[in-house]
Amino acid sequence: MNVKKTLKILDQELEGSTGRILFVCGGAAMIAMGAWERVTYDIDTILPRIDEELLEASRRVASKLGLSKDWLNNGPDSLLQDLEKGWRERVVELYLGDNLSVYALGKMDLIKTKLWATCDRMEDIDDILFLSPTPEELFEAKEWVLKRDASEFWPQIVEEAMKEIERRRNE
């Protein structure tokens, strides 16, 4: 999916609607950070909840572009309870249109959420490596991720992810 083209068409579909603001994470946020080669098949919206008007507009876009009907989704909206205070002040502009503005999580919030995701599925490690976190940023992310799960095995899982990041950085 060409994220900017898709958002432009969604913006056009929302013509006459009051200005909407979306906050996104995931692949679209990585593209906002300059990962133009990054492939994504959906846009994960954390705010606001997708209402009926936005849902219908997104389905018209899906039909036009041959996308999944759920290409725009609130799948990761549970992140809201875990993002640190002030995350809205750290967002990055992804798209500004006449009817729609889209902002992506900022770098540090992405590093944290991508490290958390890496602990469940290693394929997110490429996103962390693209973001080129400093050792201090990785340490801060690790401390944040350690608090996301109370399992006795969680610290070991996080440590294994950190070791794999270091190994891949040194290749």
Same domain, 141 and 67: no
Do 125 and 101 lie in one domain? The reply is no
Structure tokens at 163: 């070791």
| Domain co-membership, 95 together with 116 | no
Domain housing 7? 3-105
Number of domains present in the structure of the chain: 2
Residues 20 and 85 in one domain: yes
The answer to whether 118 and 125 are in contact (CB under 8 A) is yes
Do both 93 and 125 map to the same domain? no
Q: Domain boundary residue among 71, 86, 105?
A: 105
Instruction: State whether 121 and 90 are in the same domain.
Output: no
Contacts of 20 (CB under 8 A, 6+ apart): 14, 54, 99, 100, 101
| C-alpha closest to that of 163 among 138, 134, 137, 136 | 138
Q: Which of 97, 104, 127, 76 is nearest to 5 (CA)?
A: 97
Task: Give per-residue pLDDT as tens, 116-170.
Answer: 999 988 888 999 999 999 999 999 999 999 999 999 999 999 999 999 999 999 8
pTM value is: 0.89
Regarding whether 164 and 93 lie in a shared domain, the answer is: no
Give tens-digit pLDDT for 66-89: 999 999 999 888 899 999 999 999
128 shares its domain with 61? no
